[in-house]
Structure 1
Amino acid sequence: MPNLLTMARLFMIPFMVIEILDGNFTVAFILLMIAGVSDGLDGLLARWLSQQTTLGLYLDPIADKLLLSTLFIALTHAGLIPRYVTVLVFSRDFGILLIATLLFATHTLRDFRPSFFGKANTFVQIVALVCLMAGQTFAIPGLKMVTDLLLKAIAVLAPLSAAQYAWIVIRRVNAPAA
């Protein structure tokens, strides 16, 4: 059941993109909220039903990252997110993915946990996307200003978290074997 919820979240992504590109932000926002609820629910159900699987361990963060990345592209294409923010987000994610893949493939480092700035970056990305989509759906005073500040924070946090990941990896790779 939890993996089915994750798969459903993946299945919703193209429909969110279609709705964004068609200017149907209310439907896209509703789908985003459903995806958010399913993300919380799949982890909760996996623990509650003791259905934690290796597939779920990998699939859930992939679904989350794919959802965020796809929304950044679609909303940038729609002119709602500055290109530089999306470029910084993708550059960070690509760099981390490349390094993690190389370290994993070479058996150099297998444990690649999120860093403090990485978690902060992801949290701010989620809040920014929710605010941006809510702002396209509802007339909420001051929400555009909040969204703009969050996007600027992402532009700082993305490279900062990439640098923190690099620092952590360099320290761990060069640490003496225990």
Structure 2
Amino acid sequence: MFRVQTLNQIAEKGLQVFSGERYEVGERMDHPDGILLRSYSLHQEEFSKDLKAIARAGAGVNNIPVERCTEKGIVVFNTPGANANAVKELIIASLIMSSRNIINGVSWTKNLEGEEVPQLVESGKKQFVGSEIAGKRLGVIGLGAIGALVANDALALGMDVIGYDPYISVETAWRLSTHVQRAFSLD
């Protein structure tokens, strides 16, 4: 049986790959065979001789001492793009919220009360008009898993999208809309 220690909250869907017959999964564990984490930093941690692999649920491995793991024969891997859609949705939501002045509008309405609310809303709503994002230009720096999704969805919302990525992969380029304009530099 393989022992897998989780050092951060890991989604249940992600843990389903570890069947109960072959794996023991838990937060507190001595001498694990594997470690599964998100943002927990391992730079100050000592590793047991039983440790075979460290998996980062997310992109990047800056919280894992890769060089030290390599010297000890510990395999390190990550899951880039696993949360790309969720991040893309937050970016698109932020674009819309900031252009439409939604946060200030919600805050303003919380202070309204009484029978005069309809009149107050009618006279005060003009201060929260904001602007539509359709027709606006969006620059996307980095067209990896997240950037390509943002660029494509921004196009679908009617935005003019310019993308910059000197290291774009062929796979990502195939997923990117042909309507994303290419920037050759950041200048």
TM surpasses 0.5: no
Structure number with bigger Rg: 2
Q: Give the alignment's TM-score, normalised by structure 1.
A: 0.24
Between Structure 1 and Structure 2, which shows a larger proportion of strand residues? 2
Q: Give the alignment's TM-score, normalised by structure 2.
A: 0.23
Which structure exhibits the higher relative contact order, with contacts defined as CA atoms closer than 8 Å and separated by 6 or more residues?
A: 1
